[in-house]
Structure 1
Amino acid sequence: MSLIHATAIVDPKAELDSSVQVGPYTIIGPNVRIGAGTTVGPHCVIEGHTTIGNDNRIFQFNSLGAVPQDKKYAGEPCELIIGDRNTIREFCTFNIGSPGDAGVTKVGNDNWIMAYVHLAHDCVVGNHTIFANSAQLAGHVHVGDWVILGGFTVVHQFVRIGAHSFSAMHSLLFADVPPFVMCQGQPAEPRSMNFEGLRRRGFSAERISAVKAMHKALYRDDLTLEQAKERIAALSQEKPEAAPDVAMMLDFLNQTSPQRGIIR
C-alpha cells in the first residue's frame, strides 16, 4: 500500500524516503527532501529548498518553506532545514532564509512546536525546545537548546534567547534573554532563573548554585554588566563543576550587542 495519499501532489523531483507518509491534499514541491519515518498530515504545503530529517511528525495545515516575508527577497535559492524527531502541530509557518543573512532558517532536533507558531526567515532554533501556541519569531532570531516559550510570546527581530531560558505567556521580547533566565511582561523583564527546569534536566546542586550566583550578579547586586561578567567569571574557580555553564553565560553576554542589550 502506498504511504502517499492519492489526493496528495508530490512533485516527481522531490526526494522522499520510501517510509515517508503523506496525507490527503498535501502539496510537496520539487526541491523538498524528507527523511525516513517522517509523517506529513493532510492539507500541508511544503515548498522551496526545504530539507526535513527523520522521524518528524508534521500535523495538518502547515506551511513550510515559503518565501520570506521580506520585501527585499528576489527569488534567491535560500533554504529551510529541519532536523529529526520534531513535532510540528497545526497551522505553523516556517519560512526559508534570506540573502541578507546566512540564507537558511534552521530547526534542530527533538523540538515540540505547538499550533500557530511562526518562524520567520533566518531564525535558528536549537534542540529540545518547546514553543507553546502562537509563539511568534521575527527574522534572524536565535533560540538556544531547552528554551521554553509560553503561549503568545512575541520575539523582536535579531533577538537571541539563551539555553534553558523560559518566557511566560504573552511576553514581548525586545532584548536578548541570557541563558537560564525566566522572564515575563510587555516588555519582558527577568523574574528568576529556570531552577525547576534545570532540576528536571539533572543539574547538580553545585551547578544550580552557580546559576543562582549568576542571577544575583546580573539582577540583584546593582552591578554594571561588565562588573557582573567579572563576578560570573570567578565562579569557574569557585564551582568547577559549573565551569561549562559559566562559559556559556559569558559567551552569550559577550556576543550581545550594546544597541540591543539584555533584559534587565
Structure 2
Amino acid sequence: MASASDIHPSAIIEPGAEIGADVRIGPFCHVGPKVRLGAGVDLVSHAVVTGNTSIGERTRIFPGAILGGEPQNVKYRGEDTRLVIGADCTIREGVTMNTGMPDAGGVTSVGDHSLFLAYSHVAHDCHVGDHVILSNNVMLAGHVSVGDRVIMGGGAAVHQFTRVGHHAFIGGLSAVSHDVIPYGMLNGNPGVLAGLNVIGMARNGMSKTEIHTVRRAFRQIFHGEGAIREKAAKLDGGADVLPAVRDILDFILTDHERALSSPARIDRP
C-alpha cells in the first residue's frame, strides 16, 4: 500500500489489495483483497470495489458505485474472473460493473477517458472502448461490444451480444436489439437506424467532403432494393475506399449472430 495515499479511517481495505501512489479512498469505502487501484484513483465515498478488479490511473468513483461484483448470470459458480477499467474514467453514483464469465474469456473491460453517469450498468463480458459516454440508467447486457467515442442517451438498453460501432450515437430510451454500424445514429423502441452521427463525424475531424462520401455510401447500402450485406459487398472493392466507409463495410460484412439495425428496423442474415 502506497504510503502517500489518503485513506479515510472508516474505509475498509482488505489485505492483499494493491493501492497505488496518491490514491484517495474516502469515507466508508470497501476495497477487496484482489483489487488493484492505479496511481491517483479517487474513491469519493461509500464506493465498493471488489472481485478481481483493476482500475487505471486517475479514475474517479462516486458514492454508491459497485465495481467488480459477480456476474448476474445463473451459470456463474464463483470462478475467478476479472474487471479491467482504464485510466481517467469518471464513474458516477450507483454505477455497477460486473466481472466476466469463464466460458466467454472471463474479462469485462472498459477503456480510457470514459464517462459513466448515475446508475448505468456494464454487465459481464462487455467490452467498452475509449471516450465512451453512458448517460444515466443506460443498461448494457452481457457480451456487448461498444466502440470508441460512442454516446448513449439516458435509459438506453442494449441486448446481449450486440455490437455498437465506434462513433455511434444511441438516443435516450432506445432499445438496441441489433448491431449498430460505426457512425450510426439509432433511436426508438424498437431501435431504428435514423442515419449517421454527422456531428460526431465532424468532431472527429472529418471534412465535409468525407462526410458526404460516407453519407452517399450509407444511402447505397441502406436504401433501395436488395439485402444490406449484398449491397455492402458490392462496394467492398478497391483500395481507394475512404477509411470511414471501410470501417462500415468491415462491420457489416463481419459474421455475427445479431442482425443489423437499419432504417427499416433490421436486416436479417
Measured against the shorter chain, the TM-score band is over 0.9
2:89 is the alignment partner of 1:91: no
Q: Which consecutive unaligned segments of at least 5 residues does structure 1 have?
A: none
- What residue number does 1:247 align with? 246
Equivalent of residue 33 in structure 1, options 16, 30, 36? 36
Deviation at 1:220, TM superposition (A): 2.0
Deviation at 1:2, TM superposition (A): 5.6
For 1:110 and 1:170, locate their aligned partners in 2 and report how far apart those are by CA, in whole Å: 24
Name the amino acid aligned to 2:261.
I
- What residue number does 2:48 align with? 45
Contact (CA 8 Å) 2:229, 2:253: kept in 1 or not? no
Give the secondary-structure state (helix, strand or coil) at the position aligned to 1:182.
strand
Fraction of identical pairs, as percent: 40
For 1:228 and 1:154, locate their aligned partners in 2 and report how far apart those are by CA, in whole Å: 29
TM-score by length of 2: 0.92
For 1:45 and 1:66, locate their aligned partners in 2 and report how far apart those are by CA, in whole Å: 9
For 1:83 and 1:161, locate their aligned partners in 2 and report how far apart those are by CA, in whole Å: 19
Give the secondary-structure state (helix, strand or coil) at the position aligned to 1:179.
coil
Give the secondary-structure state (helix, strand or coil) at the position aligned to 2:97.
strand
2:55 is the alignment partner of 1:57: no
Contact (CA 8 Å) 2:5, 2:20: kept in 1 or not? no
Greater CA drift, 92-101 or 203-212:
203-212
2:137 is the alignment partner of 1:139: no
Residue deviations 1:151-172 (CA, integer Å, cap 9, x gap): 0000110000001111111100
For 2:197 and 2:5, locate their aligned partners in 1 and report how far apart those are by CA, in whole Å: 46
Equivalent of residue 158 in structure 2, options 150, 155, 159? 155
Equivalent of residue 17 in structure 1, options 20, 23, 28? 20
For 1:129 and 1:222, locate their aligned partners in 2 and report how far apart those are by CA, in whole Å: 34
Deviation >6 Å, runs of 4+? none
Deviation at 1:250, TM superposition (A): 2.1
Equivalent of residue 106 in structure 1, options 96, 104, 109? 109
- What residue number does 2:267 align with? none
Give the secondary-structure state (helix, strand or coil) at the position aligned to 1:198.
helix
Give the secondary-structure state (helix, strand or coil) at the position aligned to 1:51.
strand
Name the amino acid aligned to 1:222.
E
- What residue number does 2:171 align with? 168
For 2:134 and 2:231, locate their aligned partners in 1 and report how far apart those are by CA, in whole Å: 30
Query: Aligned pairs, how many?
Result: 259
Residue deviations 1:173-226 (CA, integer Å, cap 9, x gap): 111001111011111001110001111221122321222022202322333123
Q: Which consecutive unaligned segments of at least 5 residues does structure 2 have?
A: 263-269
- What residue number does 1:179 align with? 182
- What residue number does 2:133 align with? 130
For 2:5 and 2:39, locate their aligned partners in 1 and report how far apart those are by CA, in whole Å: 15
TM-score by length of 1: 0.94
Contact (CA 8 Å) 1:256, 1:262: kept in 2 or not? no
Structural mapping, 1:67-82, within 5 Å: 67-82=70-85
For 1:149 and 1:82, locate their aligned partners in 2 and report how far apart those are by CA, in whole Å: 19
- What residue number does 1:263 align with? 261
For 1:232 and 1:160, locate their aligned partners in 2 and report how far apart those are by CA, in whole Å: 22
Give the secondary-structure state (helix, strand or coil) at the position aligned to 2:155.
coil
Deviation at 1:21, TM superposition (A): 0.4
For 1:222 and 1:89, locate their aligned partners in 2 and report how far apart those are by CA, in whole Å: 45
For 1:141 and 1:195, locate their aligned partners in 2 and report how far apart those are by CA, in whole Å: 24
For 2:136 and 2:126, locate their aligned partners in 1 and report how far apart those are by CA, in whole Å: 18
For 1:235 and 1:168, locate their aligned partners in 2 and report how far apart those are by CA, in whole Å: 34
Give the secondary-structure state (helix, strand or coil) at the position aligned to 1:100.
helix
For 1:223 and 1:116, locate their aligned partners in 2 and report how far apart those are by CA, in whole Å: 41
Deviation at 1:37, TM superposition (A): 1.2
